[in-house]
C-alpha cells in the first residue's frame, strides 16, 4: 500500500503510544499502539501534539486502532463532546477486534460525537469515506461545535 498511496507525509510526531502523521491529502492519521489502554493523560498528550503539528487548523482524522488496545469511557466523552472534539472535522476509526467494535458502537451510539464519525474494518474503506465528506459542511459543523464546547 505504501508504494501506491496518493499522498505524502507532511509531518510526523511519534509518541510512546501513538504516531501522528499529517498527510498531503488533508487527513491527520493516528496509528495507536498495540496493547495500550488509553486514559485522559494520553488523550491530552495527543491533543497537545496535534495542536503543535496542525498550528490550530482542523483536519479529517483517520484513527487506526492498535491490536488489543482500549480506552477509558472518560476519553470517549472527552473526544466526542469535550475539548477533544475541537481538533477534528470528522473521525474514521479502523478497528481490529470484537472488544474494539463493542467500544466503537458505544462511542457512536451512546456518546454521540459532535463530529461525523464512522467505524471501518479497513483503512481503504475509512479513507474513501473521509474523501467523500464535504469540507465546507464539516467546517460549518466545526463552527457549531466551537459554540457548544467553548
**85-139 pLDDT tens trace:** 778 899 999 998 888 888 888 888 888 888 899 999 999 999 999 999 999 999 8
Higher pLDDT, 139 or 1: 139
**59-88 pLDDT tens trace:** 999 999 999 888 888 888 888 877 777 788
Per domain, the residue ranges of the chain are 2-149
Q: How many of the other CB atoms lie within 10 Å of CB of 77?
A: 17
Whether pLDDT at 6 is above 90: no
Q: Which three cell numbers stand for residue 150?
A: 467553548
The architecture in CATH of the region 2-149 reads 2-Layer Sandwich (3.30)
Residue with cell 470484537: 98
Q: Which three cell numbers stand for residue 17?
A: 503510544
Higher pLDDT, 18 or 75: 18
Amino acid at each position: 500500500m505504501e508504494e501506491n498511496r496518493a499522498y505524502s507525509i507532511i509531518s510526523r510526531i511519534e509518541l510512546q503510544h501513538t504516531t501522528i502523521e499529517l498527510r498531503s491529502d488533508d487527513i491527520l492519521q493516528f496509528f495507536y499502539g498495540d496493547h495500550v489502554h488509553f486514559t485522559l493523560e494520553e488523550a491530552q498528550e495527543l491533543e497537545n501534539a496535534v495542536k503543535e503539528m496542525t498550528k490550530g487548523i482542523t483536519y479529517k482524522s483517520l484513527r487506526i486502532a492498535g491490536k488489543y488496545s482500549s480506552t477509558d469511557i472518560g476519553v470517549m466523552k472527552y473526544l466526542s463532546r469535550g475539548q477533544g472534539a475541537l481538533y477534528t472535522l470528522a473521525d474514521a476509526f479502523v478497528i481490529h477486534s470484537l472488544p474494539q467494535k463493542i467500544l466503537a458502537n458505544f462511542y457512536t451510539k451512546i456518546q454521540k460525537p459532535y463530529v461525523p464519525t464512522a467505524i471501518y474494518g479497513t483503512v481503504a474503506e475509512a479513507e474513501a469515506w473521509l474523501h467523500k465528506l464535504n469540507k465546507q459542511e464539516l467546517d460549518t459543523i466545526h463552527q457549531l461545535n466551537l459554540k457548544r464546547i467553548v
